[in-house]
Amino acid sequence: MLNIKQEKDGEKLTVALEGRLDTTSAPQLDKELGTLGDDVKELVFDIKYLDYVSSAGLRILLSMHKTMNARGRMVLRGANENVMEVFEVTGFANILNIEA
């Protein structure tokens, strides 16, 4: 299960994720981000309460990273040890902007 909470402040959108970002929940996140307005220049994923991310979740994060590179920036904040390990093993730690 994945809980998604969005908070918009001007051109900045913060998306807080809690739970598991996997094959079951990835379409839910994809659908919510599909309504991302052109006015969003900064996308911040607050992932401190994200317990797990699968390849399906990584695919969505990479897709959003590419979208945001064209119009601004995307940042992931607060990755725990387990999620950070997935990013490191897959090489996503070298691609995505990840902050403590």
Give the chain's domain count: 1
Q: List, as one string, the DSSP characters of 29-75.
A: HHHHHTT--TT--EEEEEEEEEEEE-HHHHHHHHHHHHHHHTTSEEE
Q: pLDDT value at position 36?
A: 83
Tokens of 61: 């994060």
Which residues in the chain show pLDDT less than 70? none
Identify the domain containing residue 94 by its residue range.
Answer: 2-99
Chain segment 41-68, per-residue pLDDT in tens: 999 999 999 999 999 999 999 999 999 9
User: In this structure, what CATH number is given to the domain that contains residue 7?
Assistant: 3.30.750.24
Q: What is the predicted pLDDT for the residue at 88?
A: 96
Q: What pTM value is reported for the model?
A: 0.94
